Amino acid sequence: MDFVSIRIITGDIKRLVDFYENITGVQAAWGNEDFAELRTTHGTLAIGSTRTVPLFAPGSARPADNHTVIIEFLVDDVDTLYEKLKNAVADFVNEPTTMPWGNRALLFRDPDGNLVNFFTPVTPEAIEKFSR
């Protein structure tokens, strides 16, 4: 088994895709007007419109209703990126903070309220973990 992607269901796909393209610098690959993917080296962030939900099972997913998942991106320098994101992000949950597990993390919300974490490993152990 191999983990491939996480998908966000949204009521405004263009707005959300534009947001993620802006904050990550990754160009989305559009499958059609209801589905796009932002592909990185290690995973894919898929974004689907609410019109795709009935294809799986009607009512199985609701947009802007996530209260458990944090979407995480490994970045080179979270502090520098924080300064650049101030004009693109409306809802920062915290400023860059060094976590007990050795990552410097920046938590914010996307336009649908999903939590996003940009992090940079800063301790030798964390750097080793992500250099494999």
pLDDT value of residue 39: 98
Q: How far is CA 73 from CA 20, 34, 57, in A?
A: 11, 24, 29
**CATH class of segment(s) 1-63:** alpha beta
Residue spans per domain, the chain: 1-63, 66-132
Tens digit of each residue's pLDDT (9 = 90 or more) over 73-117: 999 999 999 999 999 999 999 999 999 999 999 999 999 999 999
Domains 1-63 and 66-132 share a fold: yes
In this model, does residue 124 exceed pLDDT 90?
A: yes
How many helices (H) and strands (E) are present in the chain, helices listed first? 4, 9
In this model, does residue 129 exceed pLDDT 90?
A: yes
Tens digit of each residue's pLDDT (9 = 90 or more) over 20-62: 999 999 999 999 999 999 999 999 999 999 999 999 999 999 9
**CATH class of segment(s) 66-132:** alpha beta
In this model, does residue 132 exceed pLDDT 80?
A: no
Which pTM was predicted? 0.95
